[in-house]
């Protein structure tokens, strides 16, 4: 009898340990944050996010998500909507984004008095209907529409930040948050649930800090009780909102900041402030400047994206988001032309799908260049080069002065002001399949960097990029003119 009892106990413990093992193993595949980094499938993940508006639509029988009509087209059927979403999601991925923040379909209207949740759905270009989320059937249709949306995103290789809309005054709102979290529990396509968008703008009256913390704590507990591994965030816009909804007291997994440029350099200054004073992980959840290539040029828009994205990661942010996918017609220049796509012409994806609109030059700032190796120049190039390689999940290859490397080397000479010197790289440092970024601290005459380029090319590398901390633009040499053809990435330029 005693042996039987021990056997039963052994089987029970074994089953329990197996359950725990697979639970941990499974949970590790869900997005999480550790040491101020996102992880997806156990690998570091740097969200480059595009905000995208999805409307909820019906034909009276079926229900689905569709691109907002503000992007220029009304789709009359579920099939047409899904075809458009699939093509646009594919293009978004090709443009360099890995995550979409879905706006619209996750945000029901909440009656301020009754607390009822509803959506106004378009049935045609001229008619609509009101749907209440107050029964099992309505929720089934609604969740199926979101489920289809998540599947389309997953097929395009994208993750989703799902924006919700909540009210602290009504139990129905918290019930809705619980249901949506439970319904999509363990869904790996969802990177996070965005609990609320810009509360001072979209919620009233203003609340004191103590009340704010209590409200967000309740929302957070609702999510964690339904899906303990689900990440949460909240979107804050403007300094005034940040002081009222203090990010350091909000019990969410990370903060999403929404800075906009109302004064010169406002966004980069605010990003510096976020990095200095935020005591938890944070991303830029929205930012943009408009451009129709007239009063603000496409070049200026691209430069803004480049500088603010650099500032975000330099100041400790762990993700960057642009508002929004496509230009709209909302009546004001500032809101109309923030898209990375305009509404002119058509674009074909790599798989041949057709998308209405044309990408603006800004998209080049988001594209993953596929860098596999960072070549750092002795000695100050090692300082940033190693960090850049770590950020890009790329290998680091040192280029050193002569006679400092222990193995067989490739050597190139370059001219000094009063003589000649040479640099060396290990012969097996690169292969012809590598995509290489050559990095150094200073671009002056370009002699050293050009010598490094010649070594890299001798390895059969075909795709090369350059980055420098400083460029002395007033120095002009034949070597430097060659390097400038590669459009090097430079943080600081000195013209005199």
Q: Cα separation of 41 and 191, whole Å?
A: 11
Q: In 3D, which of 381, 421, 413 has the Cα closest to residue 397?
A: 381
Q: Can you give the three-state secondary structure of 250-309, one letter per residue?
A: CCCCEEEECCCCCCCCHHHHHHHHHHHHCCCCEEECCCCCCCCCCCCCHHHHHHHHHHHH
When computed from its CA atoms, the radius of gyration of the chain, rounded to whole angstroms, is: 26
- Whether 380 sits among the annotated catalytic residues: the reply is yes
Q: How far is residue 411's CA from residue 424's CA, in Å, rounded to a whole number?
A: 5
Catalytic residue of the set 125, 263, 417, 485: 417
- In whole angstroms, how far apart are CA 302 and each of 7, 183, 271, 296, 442? 68, 39, 18, 11, 24
Interior CA angle at 401 toward 369 and 492, to 5°? Answer: 45
**Do the strands 373-377 and 395-401 form a parallel or antiparallel pair, or are they unpaired?**
parallel
Where b means 16+ CB within 10 Å and e means fewer, 37-55 reads: ebbbeeeebbbbbbbbbbb
The whole-angstrom separation of Cα 296 and Cα 316 is 29
Angstrom distance (rounded) from CA 282 to CA 312: 9
Catalytic residue, candidates 380, 400, 454, 458: 380
Taking the C-alpha atoms of residue 76 and residue 58, their distance in angstroms, rounded to an integer, is 9
Tokens standing for 276?
A: 């200095």
| Preceding omega of 160 cis (within 30 degrees of 0) | no
The verdict on whether 400 is a catalytic residue reads no
Kindly list the catalytic residues: 380, 417
């Amino acid at each position: 009898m005693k042996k039987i009892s021990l056997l039963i106990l052994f089987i029970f413990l074994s089953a329990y340990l197996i359950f725990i093992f697979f639970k941990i193993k499974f949970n590790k595949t869900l997005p999480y944050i550790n040491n101020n980094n996102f992880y997806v499938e156990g690998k570091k993940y740097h969200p480059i996010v595009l905000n995208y508006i999805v409307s909820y639509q019906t034909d009276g029988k079926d229900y689905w998500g569709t691109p907002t009509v503000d992007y220029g087209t009304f789709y009359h059927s579920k099939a047409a909507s899904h075809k458009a979403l699939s093509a646009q999601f594919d293009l978004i991925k090709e443009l360099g984004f890995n995550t979409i923040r879905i706006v619209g379909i996750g945000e029901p209207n909440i009656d301020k008095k009754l607390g009822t949740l509803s959506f106004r759905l378009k049935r045609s270009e001229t008619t609509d209907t009101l749907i209440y989320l107050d029964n099992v059937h309505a929720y089934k249709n609604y969740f199926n529409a979101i489920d289809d949306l998540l599947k389309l995103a997953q097929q395009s290789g994208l993750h989703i930040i799902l924006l919700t809309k909540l009210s602290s005054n009504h139990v129905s709102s918290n019930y809705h948050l619980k249901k949506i979290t439970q319904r999509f529990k363990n869904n790996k396509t969802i990177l996070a649930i965005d609990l609320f968008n810009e509360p001072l703008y979209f919620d009233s009256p203003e609340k004191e800090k103590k009340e704010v913390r209590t409200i967000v704590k309740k929302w957070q507990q609702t999510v964690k009780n339904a899906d303990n591994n689900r990440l949460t965030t909240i979107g804050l816009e403007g300094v005034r909102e940040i002081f009222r909804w203090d990010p350091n007291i909000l019990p969410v997994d990370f903060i999403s900041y929404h800075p906009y440029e109302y004064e010169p350099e406002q966004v980069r200054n605010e990003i510096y402030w976020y990095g200095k004073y935020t005591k938890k992980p944070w991303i830029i959840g929205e930012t943009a400047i408009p451009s129709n290539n007239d009063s603000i040029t496409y070049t200026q828009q691209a430069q803004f994206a480049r500088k603010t994205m650099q500032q975000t990661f330099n100041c400790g942010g762990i993700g960057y988001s642009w508002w929004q996918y496509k230009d709209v017609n909302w009546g004001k220049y500032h809101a109309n032309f923030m898209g990375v796509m305009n509404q002119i012409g058509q674009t074909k994806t790599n798989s041949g799908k057709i998308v209405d609109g044309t990408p603006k030059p800004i998209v080049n700032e988001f594209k993953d260049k596929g860098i596999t190796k960072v070549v750092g120049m002795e000695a100050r190039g090692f300082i940033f080069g190693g960090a850049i390689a770590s950020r890009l999940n790329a290998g680091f290859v040192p280029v050193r002065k002569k006679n400092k490397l222990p193995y067989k080397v490739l050597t190139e000479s370059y001219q000094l002001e009063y003589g000649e010197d040479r640099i060396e790289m290990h012969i097996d440092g690169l292969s012809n399949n590598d995509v290489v970024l050559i990095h150094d601290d200073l671009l002056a005459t370009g002699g050293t960097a050009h010598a490094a380029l010649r070594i890299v090319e001798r390895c059969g590398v075909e795709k090369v990029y350059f980055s420098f901390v400083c460029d002395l633009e007033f120095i002009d040499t034949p070597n430097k003119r060659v390097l400038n053809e590669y459009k090097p990435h430079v943080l600081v330029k000195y013209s005199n």
